[in-house]
Structures are given as structure tokens and as C-alpha cells.
Structure 1
Amino acid sequence: MQSSTLPTSLLKALRHVMRPLVRLMLRKGVTYLVFADLLKEVFVDVADREFRLDDKAPTDSRISLLTGVHRKDVRRLRNTSDPASSTLPENITFGAQLVNAWTCAPFCNDAGQPLPLPRLASVGGERSFDALVAKVSTDIRARVVLDEWLRLGVVRLDEQECVHLEAQAFVPQKGFDEKAAYLGHNLHDHACAAVHNLSSEGPAFFERSVHYDALTPMSVEALREAVASEGMQALLSFNRLAAELEFRDLPSLEQRQRITVGLYFYTEASDPDLPTAPKP
């Protein structure tokens, strides 16, 4: 199929979406040739898994026809992808469980805000970092978790040996591999929601944004602070509700589903060619 027969609006959107990803790749030395081979693998894998007829595995020829990837490359790349590569690393999922526990009694205040926790159970008892880790797993020593979280910038240790959660969600401030895992997870799920809504198949997922283009830097900072504060409160509220529902669902034999709820903020200089009149 020639590009001239494809929706111009879709190609324009894809070009725009790819710009920040290409920027990241260039910064990290991922060349076009490396990415092109990676993209071939993704095309082949998606065609193989999601474009089957009567639930039958497609032939190499059909995948080649669907994707435009040469049949010899289809044969080489087929069944080489690792499904586990799309899941978050174990240390991140374990960390998310700990953060969730930290926003529940007895490790939080009445508003659900994580409290500073004495590092040792001998000092803080059931409201200590030792107790928090033990609540989630008895197989991992609290000191090991603390050292790793200090490395990632997730927590800080004060002079009284109390552990403070630096971010109210498990978002590493350091550690490229951990942040890259979140990049893949969050962008993937956001893109899935947007693609689903564009396909008009079934009820739409909630996916909304607010955008302005004529704000001063001072106003942008005011909004940044509001999103960081009020947005985090909303996410903590959703987190508590999800935890309650998951606990309630434990006895159920129904098929399980995963969810992602996200919130983001971004700013950059406005296009000088755009109108700057205030919005009504």
C-alpha cells in the first residue's frame, strides 16, 4: 500500500509522536539502522499475535504482506520476541507494592500521606521501615531495599534515622534502567488507550488533556505546582480505591485485568507562529 493512500492525518500524528522518541534515541546512540531492525521485530510480532484469521497462526507470506517486511526477515524474526520484556522488572513491581503499603495504615496519616518511618523496628515497632518491608515480603531484608531506594533517590534518610518517601509514587529519581522501564510501561499503556479510542471499538477509555499556548513562565510554574500537588492527591485516591477493590476481588474466580491510571505535565516554548490571544 502506497503512503499516498493512507490517512494523511494519521501519518502526521505518527510523525509528531515519533519526534521525542527519536530525540531520545539520538541522545543515547540508537541509530536509524538499529531502530529499523527493532521496528521490524515489532511489526512481525504484532502481525503474528494480533492479526490472525480464525485464531490460526499466519504464514510467513501473510505476515510479509501485512507488514511489508521481507519474508526472509519474517522467518528470522518470528517468535524471537520476549513477552516478559513488556512487563515491569520485579524490583519495580515490588517497589510499587511497598509504596502502596506506605499509603495505608499504620504507615500514613489520616489523609493517606506516607509518614517518615524510623528505619529500625526496635525504634518504630509496627510503624517502622522494617515493618513496612516485612508487610510486603519476609524474603527481602529491609536494609537491602533501603540501600537500593537511596541509590535511586526514592527515599532519603534524615539525621534521626527516619526514612522519608521522596516521591509519592515509585518513580526513581536516578537509575536509568528503572526510569526506562517506566517509559516503556507508561507510554505503551497511554498509546494503547489512545489507539483504542481512535479505532472506535467498544467504550472509550478516559484520555483527556488541557492545553494552553500563551502562558508566562510564572503561570506555568503555578500550574506545575498545582498539578504536582492536586494531581498526586488524585492518584493517591485512585490507588487507595484500587487496593480496596483488589482486596475485595481476591475470592473471585473471574479473569483478572490490569489497569494503569496516569497523569502528566509538560511545557515548552510556544510556536512563534501560533496566535497568542487568550482563550475565552
Structure 2
Amino acid sequence: MSNDPKPPLETALSALLVPLAQAMVAHGVTLGSATEALKQALLTAAEQSTDGKLSDSRASLLTGLHRKDVKRLRNTDDDAPLKRSCNAAALVISYWSTTPEFLDDLGAPRTLSGKGDENGPGFDDLVRRARVDMAPGTVLETLIDQKNVEQVGKGKLRLLSQAFLPSACSAEQVAAYEATLSAHLAAATQNLLAEPGAPRNFDRAVRYSHLSSESIEELRQFSSDRAQTLLQEINSLARELQDKDSNGDHSGRFAAGAFVLPSPQEAQSKNPKEDE
């Protein structure tokens, strides 16, 4: 039996997976489903790290997957219509809350008609302006189902939230969970794998302990307010730049996020080893 210490990433893996495992248990995802997802992820990572075509044998060597699994996984469709629907809904809300044509005299998102009226462009125009590759009716259905938009009067639509906030425990919330965490994890992983001296993504966090519940609440409110303001400013600038770039054939992507994790003393999990 080897006494050699585990590689650092292998040691960190368990802690990284615990929050994900909590979500899996809560949603009834078993080991079999998780294993299948991990196999697909390993194959995707191997393909992305290799220039040119990756043979089944080479993929098997890099990942530890059986060649039969490699062949099977390569013939599996990976379609994610729900994720695209959530992304489209979030983008439409972004344009609705920042684009002058869709704001009232006070700078707030105005109530829209479906096709447009004497007050200006309507919801269908908004979807086209946001360059969403989905039918306006499909996007609207998602926004109404998630209670981000309500119908008022005859054919009028009112925006209830300037951020796409899916209903708790909904499939849309899971899709948003995936989109947010995958982007953050990708940024952190790129930093981990970056060569010495190479540019790195901005990824910072502030952590404090030994705080009272009152102090935690003050920090939570302060951080949430400041982060919301910053994200709204980034949202406005990104929308303006996307409009400016709309005449060119551009495919670049950008993501920025923020998280706040208040952990009152009674909510902190204990290390099982402390009780041994």
C-alpha cells in the first residue's frame, strides 16, 4: 500500500463535489446517472484538449473509459433546449430593462404590447432586437411561467423583475444553476491550467469567520446591493457593445457573476472528524 500523498486536485475533488452531491440527492440523481454524466464530461474534456481528431483508443487512454463507452457516448445527442430557453429569457429581460426604446420616461421598463403600438416597439420587436433564436411566443411562455412577466389588460405585458429568477425547484432553476456554476468553474479551471505568466481570469472572493449573525446580515445586505448595482452596470454596457457589434460576424462570449454566501453559526456544517 502506497503512502504517497494524493495529488492536490484529487484531494480537493471531494470538497468540490459535496455541494453538487447535495443537489443530486435532493433531486433524486443516483450514482448511475452521475457516473454517466462524468463519463460524458471526461470524453468532452479529452476532445477539447486534443488538436485534430481524437481516436477512440486515445480517448480511452486519456480518460480511463472503455472504448465501447467512448463509441457509445460519441453517438449520444446532447441537446439542451431548456438551457437555451433560459438563456433567451435572461437576454430578453436584459434588453427590456436597458434599451431606451423599451423604457418609459422615468427609465423603467415600460409595459409592452405584443406587436407594438403608438408607444413604441412591442414584445416581438424586443425578441428580435435581443437577437434570440427562438419564437417570441416560446420566450414569453417561459417568462410568464416563471413569473418574470405578467399579462395586464388586453394583450399588454409587464416586466416584474429585471433579472431572470426562475421559480424555486423548477426545471428552469436547474438550467440557471448549470449556466451560472459552469461559467464560474470554467473561469477557475482556466486559471488552474494556465501556463506561468499567461493571462488569468478575474476570480476573487472575500472570506471571514467568527462573525455574529448581525454582522453576517449587514455584510449580506451590503454585498448583495453592491453586486446588483455592478451587474446592472455591466449589463447595460454589454447590451450597448453587442448592439455596436451587431453588423459584424462575431461569436465571442462574455460572462460575469457574483455570489454571496452568508453562513450563520447555526447553519454551518460540522466536520464529521471533529466528533470522532
Q: TM-score, length-normalised on structure 2?
A: 0.78
| CA–CA distance in structure 1, aligned partners of residues 105 and 202 of structure 2 | 29
Partner of 2:22: 23
Query: Please, which of 188, 206, 226 is the counterpart of residue 210 of structure 1?
Result: 206
Query: For 1:153, what is the secondary structure of its paired residue?
Result: coil
Code of the residue aligned with 1:187 in structure 2: it is L
Code of the residue aligned with 2:126 in structure 1: it is K
Query: For 2:236, what is the secondary structure of its paired residue?
Result: helix
1:77 paired with 2:80, answer no
Structure 1 segment 101-180 matched on structure 2, within 5 A: 101-108=96-103, 114-115=108-109, 117-118=110-111, 120=113, 125-126=118-119, 131-137=122-128, 140=136, 148-155=142-149, 165-174=159-168, 176-180=170-174
Partner of 1:276: none
| CA–CA distance in structure 1, aligned partners of residues 269 and 141 of structure 2 | 44
Give how far 1:24 is off: 0.9
In the alignment, structure 1 segments of 5+ residues that lack a partner are: 274-280
Query: Please, which of 42, 48, 51 is the counterpart of residue 49 of structure 2?
Result: 51
For residues 66-97 of structure 1, the C-alpha deviation after alignment (integer angstroms, 9 at most, x for no partner) is 11112222222234252x43993235414422
Give how far 1:235 is off: 0.6
Q: TM-score, length-normalised on structure 1?
A: 0.77
RMSD value over aligned CA atoms? 3.5
CA contact (8 A) 1:64 1:71 kept: yes
Cα separation, partners in 2 of 1:258 and 1:119, compared to 1, 3 Å: closer
Partner of 1:250: 246
CA contact (8 A) 2:116 2:125 kept: no
Give how far 1:271 is off: 6.1
| CA–CA distance in structure 2, aligned partners of residues 145 and 67 of structure 1 | 39
Percent of aligned pairs with the same amino acid: 29
Partner of 1:267: 262
| CA–CA distance in structure 1, aligned partners of residues 168 and 69 of structure 2 | 38
CA contact (8 A) 1:98 1:136 kept: no
In the alignment, structure 2 segments of 5+ residues that lack a partner are: 130-134, 272-276
How many residue pairs align between the two structures? 260
CA contact (8 A) 1:88 1:181 kept: yes
1:192 paired with 2:186, answer yes
| CA–CA distance in structure 2, aligned partners of residues 265 and 203 of structure 1 | 26
Give how far 1:242 is off: 0.9
